[in-house]
Structure 1
Amino acid sequence: MKRINDTFGHRPLKSVRPSEVKAWTASLNAEGLAASTVYALHSRLGQLFADAVHDGLLPKSPVSRRTAPKAGKQRPYVATTEQVWALQDAMPEGLRPAILLAAFAGLRVAEAVALRVSDVDFMRGIIAPAIQYPGVELKTEESKTPIPIPQNLCLELSVNHTRWGSETLVTNECGRAISPHRLEHYFREARATVKGLPEGFRFHDLRHYFASLLIAQGLDVKVVQKSLRHSSAKTTLDTYGHMWPDKEETARAAVSRVLDERLDSRTAQRA
């Protein structure tokens, strides 16, 4: 916000032009900031102008895809299964379901803390996200996609409700709902106790573990997209495409098998 205010804070909203936004991101790149940082700053500026448009302060935002810088290619750190369990063990008891919701159902932090008992069909094993903190609707229809989960995960998620009779599945030590900020605080404390996790590892990064788990089981991109509730397969591939097996080698092996079968057939005929 400081960088945004330094450049645009003194300006009337309607005076900012798309060309100025592009020039700003170019100057940030010239400073030597990482491409991902510049992209994040542009996204934050876009959020501010989108809010202004929503409130009727502007007819149109000067921030768009045309003004967006390159996102930069960063491969997310994927925790090991051992690290995921270590994180869960290090969290306060009432917050442990949050780790399960992120690592095995792909929920985001604002969705995990707001997930209600009524949003889970424990009999059929389905999570149906409906709201996010602080009790507002999810932003996209894709985010409302039902998530199938196994019965053993249902059992783990029901612990807090069984103990406290709580409305939400993630609770503090008194059985009450908790904010994303407080959950992230406890998550950072837990992260510091887990060997091998990088300092910048976030709660959101547990979604990467979830994605890697699905891909390792041989699920195709459309299934992974639906499970992660991405708006498009492109988003899934841009983020996780490197996790799928080498398609060139797979294609080469497929052609090789057909040719080998042909060669074997000819050899058999000659015999």
Structure 2
Amino acid sequence: MPVYKNEKAKGDNKWWFQFYTGEVKNGTRERITKRGFRTKKEAEKAMIEAQAAQQKGEYIEPSKKLFHDYLQEWLKTKRNLGEQTLELYDSYLRTHIIPSLGQIPLTKLTAYDIEMFLDSLYAKGLSPSTVKRIFSVVNASLNSAELKGIISKNVANRVEKPQASSRRQLVVWEPEFVSEFLEKTRYASRYWIAVYLAVMTGMRQGEILGLRWSDIDFEKRNLTIQQTVNRHREIKDGAKTKKSVRSVALSPETVEVLKEHRKHILQERVELGPDYQNNDLVVCTQFGGPTTQRAIQKVWPNFLKKTGAPKITFHDLRHTHASLLIKQGVHIKVISERLGHSSISITMDRYGHLMSNMQEEAANGLDKIIRTAISQNE
């Protein structure tokens, strides 16, 4: 059945569709009608989805659909998001959004409801940045509902958007302290290798836990990030984004450290024999299984205490890696590639302030070049 364009109402040229369900109620053939689509293509797509849902007995009239039901459907469409982002969205839905707003019919949701919801998040003691992220999920879901013609307007647009507090100042270690820290903690835990890789490669924690020996080319001195381990200790193909699937060059010392670590892992494998879970993982339990992120977080405070190091997170080691590269004068594009950022602008936004001294060094370098040229011509 074709879709239609509303050309009669002045100023309203939106598309709509209507189809019969095949059922008769009180002598009248039942039909489903939805309006408000911006394009013919959107209307046709929505009609096909509605027909499929109706045939399965899953169709709910928009006026009766609860926000809870819509959110679950909406999350299933976000296949383009990375696994960690999807997990975060799901957590926000289960923990905060659905318990507070889930039982409200989607078409009855108001700006006041959302304002009260945001107030409740602050009352829970959540940080401004977390509240802002949760609001973004609600806003994105309602934008999608408006685009599909399920609701006439996104009421979240009428709410004053939460403002995140200023970004936490990055804490990075100086090269001298990094060396001291790695030396003092080297034999403190089997998970020291994860710390070392974070400093020397800038890999994310999930990427480090998913690294396999087969991903490392010892002759060419590089590794390829092709899988991760999530917080549920599940091994997942790919990485956070397409850009995150990348190759990272290794220093000669890093290669030697990895070779030494591999000897230890092979020894454990031989001792356990058939009981060993061979996942080919660089960072693993003594039985060869994936390591939980929680296990790393558990030993991390002990490392800090042992060395008297300033309190930072494991993820801050990634920032330290970027800082070390900047101090060497490495090009920002190379840094961005090593970190797996989707664009250089992200790298600049995060680490640009660490490059403030490079302007002065560049200016001083000009003097040196010019003086050298003059002396050579005299």
Q: Does 1:117 align with 2:213?
A: yes
RMSD over aligned Cα atoms: 4.3
- Of 172, 192, 195, the residue aligned with 1:99 is 195
Give the CA deviation at 1:117: 1.1
CA contact (8 A) 2:132 2:164 kept: no
Give the CA deviation at 1:236: 1.1
Give the CA deviation at 1:28: 7.4
SS of the counterpart of 2:329? coil
CA contact (8 A) 1:111 1:129 kept: yes
Give the CA deviation at 1:112: 1.1
1:181 counterpart residue number: 294
Partner amino acid for 1:164?
A: E
Structure 1 gap segments, 5+ residues each: none
> Over residues 103-133 of structure 1, what are the superposed CA-to-partner deviations in whole Å (9 max), with x where a residue is unaligned?
0011111111111111111221111111111
2:8 counterpart residue number: none
Give the CA deviation at 1:71: 5.6
1:164 counterpart residue number: 268
Give the CA deviation at 1:257: 6.1
Q: Does 1:43 align with 2:133?
A: yes
Please say which of residues 73-82 and 210-219 is displaced more in the overlay: 73-82
1:75 counterpart residue number: 169
Give the CA deviation at 1:96: 1.8
Tell me, in whole angstroms, the C-alpha distance in 2 between the residues paired with 1:105 and 1:259.
37
Task: Please show how residues 207-218 of structure 1 align to structure 2 within 5 Å.
Answer: 207-218=318-329
Identity %: 19
CA contact (8 A) 1:28 1:38 kept: no
Task: Please show how residues 28-39 of structure 1 align to structure 2 within 5 Å.
Answer: 37-39=127-129
> Over residues 158-192 of structure 1, what are the superposed CA-to-partner deviations in whole Å (9 max), with x where a residue is unaligned?
32443334511112344433111111111122222
CA contact (8 A) 1:46 1:63 kept: no
SS of the counterpart of 1:147? strand
CA contact (8 A) 1:87 1:99 kept: no
TM-score calculated relative to the size of structure 2: 0.54
Structure 2 gap segments, 5+ residues each: 1-90, 270-277
Give the CA deviation at 1:146: 0.6
Give the CA deviation at 1:142: 1.1
Partner amino acid for 1:190?
A: F
SS of the counterpart of 1:10? helix
Tell me, in whole angstroms, the C-alpha distance in 2 between the residues paired with 1:119 and 1:18.
50
CA separation of 1:263/1:169 partners in 2, compared to 1, >3 Å: closer, same or farther? closer
Number of aligned residues: 254
Give the CA deviation at 1:5: 5.4
Tell me, in whole angstroms, the C-alpha distance in 2 between the residues paired with 1:189 and 1:17.
49
CA separation of 1:44/1:111 partners in 2, compared to 1, >3 Å: closer, same or farther? farther
Higher relative contact order (CA 8 A, sep 6+): 1
1:229 counterpart residue number: 340
TM-score calculated relative to the size of structure 1: 0.73
Structure possessing the higher radius of gyration over alpha carbons? 2
